[in-house]
Amino acid sequence: MEIEQNTQYKSGFAAIVGKPNVGKSSLLNILLNQKVAAVTPRPQTTRKNQLGILTTIHKDIHVQIIFIDTPGVHRPRYKLGEYMVQEATKSLQECDVVLFMVDGSQPPSDEDHQLAGIIRETKRSVPGVLVINKKDLCNAEQLDNHIEEYTSLAPLMEPIAISITRQENLDTLMDKLVEMLPDAPPYFPADQVTDLFERDLSADIIRESALNLLRDEIPHGIVIRIDQFIERNEQGAYIEATLFVEKESHKAIVIGQKGSMLKQIGSMARKEIEAMSGRKVYLRIRVKVRKNWRNDERVLRKFGY
């Protein structure tokens, strides 16, 4: 789709904020109808703000919605966590619409209260939607009770219960969003879908594969550095990456018996990167230990956090 020059557009930034694991990145992927953000069953998957840009015609209205997918807001125990919460807070200052996303299958937790407070404190008069996700995971009565509790947390926001898995109420959510967007020309070209380069997306996909395949406390201590990213035309892309862990013992687990775990992580990631870019990819991953990197300001900056 091209941007039409003399057409009236509604455009703006929509921040998706919520505690970890409620489905923020899943919402981004489903509304854009393609995978741009890492999604895993583990909390704290997203570490940095990422844009997902939707340029479309919704019920005869030309729109460009720039979603800001943010890290889940939690009580940080590491400097990395502090950075993640700052990212989410920053998105609130930059947006035209707030999507406060919660897990509708559970009553509000401390983290939901904390975040509702942060949203109120930014004290801006931007409109907001209270997105109550995962309605597929509980019965109607439970859902009604939870909706009531969440609504009292954010009384000024328009509540809507959705299920991303079952694709329920997404169209109504779009209606509300479009209604709240300001009249404005588009900010980005129509074919741009995200602000991340393939290099960063590839790093996130490698981390996503590791998160999906590894257990327990190791995943949160993982960070990926792309060392080489070379285009080789018909032969596709050559990618060399280093996967950093925090402990020697973690390194052994990531590598696995005779390298079997690392092989699985690599092949899962390679397939995803190939699917994303539509070309062949050769991926090589090595594993290194960088002790306590999550609390080291200097190392965090080096990794782009």
Binding-site ranges for ligand GTP (CB under 6 A):
18, 20-26, 39-41, 43-46, 71-72, 133-134, 136-137, 163-165
- Measured distance CA(283)–CA(289) in Å, rounded: 20
From 16-24, 104-112, 153-161, 184-192, give the range in contact with Mg ion by CB under 5 A: 16-24
Q: How far is the CB of 137 from ligand GTP (least distance, A)?
A: 5
Report the candidate in 112, 26, 20, 118 with the shortest Cα–Cα distance to residue 67: 26
Q: How far is the CB of 9 from ligand GTP (least distance, A)?
A: 28
Residues 244/222, Cβ–Cβ less than 8 Å: yes
Q: Between 106 and 151, name the residue whose CB sits nearer to ligand GTP.
A: 106
Half-sphere exposure at residue 117, Cβ-oriented, CA atoms within 13 angstroms:
9
Q: Between 86 and 142, name the residue whose CB sits nearer to Mg ion.
A: 86
Residue 231 is inside which H or E element, if any?
A: strand 223-231
How many of the chain's residues bind Mg ion (CB under 5 A)?
A: 4
Q: Which of 11, 44, 45, 163 binds Mg ion (CB under 5 A)?
A: 45
Report the candidate in 8, 10, 92 with the shortest Cα–Cα distance to residue 49: 92
Q: How far is the CB of 69 from ligand GTP (least distance, A)?
A: 7
Q: Between 21 and 91, name the residue whose CB sits nearer to ligand GTP.
A: 21
Task: Report the residue closest to ligand GTP, judged by CB.
Answer: 72
- Measured distance CA(196)–CA(111) in Å, rounded: 28
Residue 219, contacted partner among Mg ion, ligand GTP, none, CB below 5-8 A by kind = none
46 touches Mg ion by CB under 5 A: yes
Q: How far is the CB of 20 from Mg ion (least distance, A)?
A: 8
Long-range contacts of 302-305 (CB under 8 A, 24+ apart): 303/223, 303/225, 304/48, 305/47, 305/48, 305/80, 305/83
Residue 136, contacted partner among Mg ion, ligand GTP, none, CB below 5-8 A by kind = ligand GTP
Q: Between 210 and 287, name the residue whose CB sits nearer to ligand GTP.
A: 210
Cβ contacts of residue 1 below 8 Å, gap of 6+?
55, 56, 190, 191
CA distance readout (Å), 120 to 72, 110, 113: 17, 15, 11
Q: How far is the CB of 72 from ligand GTP (least distance, A)?
A: 3
131 three-state secondary structure: strand
CA distance readout (Å), 110 to 18, 39, 73, 114, 252: 12, 23, 11, 6, 36
Residue 55, contacted partner among ligand GTP, Mg ion, none, CB below 5-8 A by kind = none
Q: How far is the CB of 70 from Mg ion (least distance, A)?
A: 8
Q: How far is the CB of 113 from ligand GTP (least distance, A)?
A: 17
Q: Between 11 and 91, name the residue whose CB sits nearer to ligand GTP.
A: 91
Q: How far is the CB of 278 from ligand GTP (least distance, A)?
A: 24
Q: Which of 22, 23, 25, 100 binds Mg ion (CB under 5 A)?
A: 25
Residue 86 is inside which H or E element, if any?
A: helix 79-94
Residues 128/155, Cβ–Cβ less than 8 Å: no
Residues 250/218, Cβ–Cβ less than 8 Å: yes
Q: Between 64 and 70, name the residue whose CB sits nearer to Mg ion.
A: 70
Where on the chain is the footprint of Mg ion (CB under 5 A)? 24-25, 45-46
